[in-house]
């Protein structure tokens, strides 16, 4: 079966879960076309991402002039479908998070995508994220393209469901994927009960390279690692507030912030202000292999997120037999269990975060190792990429 994947930006350092899903589907016999809006010039650190870039077609690589010809060709060849899709694009722009000219650009992008889908012989197209990428494939469908589906990760889609017309996208889709039961419940809110059946749960998965890593003993060093983009939703500023509390209490610790992002300057300023330079290190963007090394060199992963879907890095840490300190947010409690494989605390509660960090650092290595083994078993049961991709494959085949 030939399917196409459409993503806003691909490949991307923080989108390794999409690459895993595509490769798993190919192992199950699918032919997969990769289409993205952008990403041809992005800085990459993984050889696997470099390989994926060579397989991807980019809608915006030739700029606006690359969209004009396909738009005119679709208009001339299928005027009724074109104006129907135009009307849909204009409706999508009403009271939207972006003004209507953006939605006309999405229509032009859909015209080019339609031609690529037809040339490939795509029987179905799947988008990741329920924002503009899903609108483009929905418009391509309105122009005569194949049926579409999309995966909703959150939290962005759940922050602005009405302004991105999330309900309209669900109603028009063949099916919709949520990455957690929590995500499914949020999709239920924006469509009638008659559409609930099309909302499926498929977890993000990990390759065997994560599951098959030999167990590495919990290190003696009192080190914790936080992996993620340096941004407001991940809560790194709160983490530094908790680190200041621990430092004032005389607790020995090291904290690694693995990642980069728009808040790096602000985070570095707070590190300096609190005198934490000797205790806190920022790595910048690093490869998947380097992420594994940082996790294995730490006693646990700490992720004090304010908003999430279900973070893949939590799965990665658990697969490496490390307990997790994180918040009662979105789908996280479906995976992390208090006292069994990690610590859960209220989002935004700096005292609870500091207490969990201190408790983790004070635990004997044997206790953390037992929690890590429990974490490993839990994630193995729920997040194997081939198992999860098989679920997705069954939905694709049912549509075909």
Token pair of 295, please? 């996790």
Q: What is the pTM of this model?
A: 0.90
Token pair of 200, please? 């499926």
Name which of 76, 139, 150 is nearest 108 in CA terms. 139
For residues 20-36, average pLDDT:
97
- Domains of the chain are 2-205+384-399 (3.40.50.2000), 208-382 (3.40.50.2000)
pLDDT, position 210: 65
Cβ neighbours of 126 (radius 10 Å): 28
Ranking 4-8, 153-157, 194-198, 297-301 by mean pLDDT, the lowest is 153-157
pLDDT, position 206: 87
pLDDT, position 153: 95
Question: What contacts 56, CB < 8 A, 6 or more positions away?
Answer: 10, 11, 34, 35, 36, 39, 40
Pairwise CA distance, residues 379 & 324, whole Å: 12
Instruction: Decide if 225 contacts 303 (C-beta within 8 A).
Output: no
Encode pLDDT of 236-263 as tens digits. Answer: 999 999 999 999 999 999 999 999 999 9
pLDDT, position 211: 66
Name which of 121, 141, 133, 17 is nearest 78 in CA terms. 141
Pairwise CA distance, residues 259 & 281, whole Å: 10
293 exposure class (CB count in 10 Å sphere: 0-12, 13-18, 19+): middle
């Amino acid at each position: 079966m030939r399917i196409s994947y459409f993503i806003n930006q691909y490949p991307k350092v923080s989108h390794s879960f999409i690459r895993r899903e595509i490769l798993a589907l190919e192992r199950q016999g699918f032919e997969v076309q990769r289409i993205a809006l952008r990403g041809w010039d992005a800085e990459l650190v993984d050889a696997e991402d470099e390989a994926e870039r060579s397989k991807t077609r980019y809608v915006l690589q030739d700029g606006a002039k690359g969209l004009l010809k396909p738009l005119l060709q679709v208009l001339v060849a299928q005027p009724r479908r074109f104006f129907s899709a135009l009307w849909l694009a204009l409706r999508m722009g009403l009271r939207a998070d972006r003004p209507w000219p953006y939605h006309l650009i999405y229509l032009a992008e859909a015209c080019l995508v339609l031609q690529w889908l037809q040339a490939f012989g795509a029987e179905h197209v799947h988008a990741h994220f329920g924002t503009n990428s899903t609108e483009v494939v929905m418009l391509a469908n309105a122009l005569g393209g194949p049926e579409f589906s999309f995966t909703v990760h959150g939290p962005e889609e759940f922050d602005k469901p009405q302004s991105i017309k999330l309900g309209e996208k669900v109603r028009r889709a063949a099916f919709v994927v949520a990455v957690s039961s929590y995500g499914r419940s949020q999709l239920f809110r924006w469509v009638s009960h008659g559409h609930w059946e099309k909302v499926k749960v498929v977890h993000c998965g990990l390759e065997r390279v994560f599951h098959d890593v030999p167990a590495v003993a919990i290190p003696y060093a009192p080190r914790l690692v936080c992996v993620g983009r340096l941004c407001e939703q991940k809560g790194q500023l709160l983490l530094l507030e908790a680190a200041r509390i621990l430092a004032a209490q005389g607790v020995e610790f090291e904290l690694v912030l693995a990642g980069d992002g728009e808040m790096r300057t602000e985070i570095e300023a707070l590190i300096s202000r609190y005198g934490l330079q000797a205790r806190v290190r920022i790595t910048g963007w690093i490869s998947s292999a380097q992420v594994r090394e940082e996790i294995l060199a730490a006693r646990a992963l700490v992720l004090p997120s304010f908003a999430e879907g279900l973070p893949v890095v939590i799965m990665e840490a658990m697969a490496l037999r490390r307990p997790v300190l994180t918040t009662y947010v979105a789908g996280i409690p479906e995976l992390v269990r208090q006292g069994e494989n990690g610590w859960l605390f209220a989002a935004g509660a700096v005292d609870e975060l500091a207490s969990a960090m201190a408790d983790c650092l004070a635990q004997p290595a044997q206790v953390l190792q037992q929690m890590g083994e429990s974490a490993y078993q839990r994630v193995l049961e729920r997040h194997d990429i081939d198992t999860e991709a098989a679920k997705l494959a069954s939905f694709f085949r049912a549509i075909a």
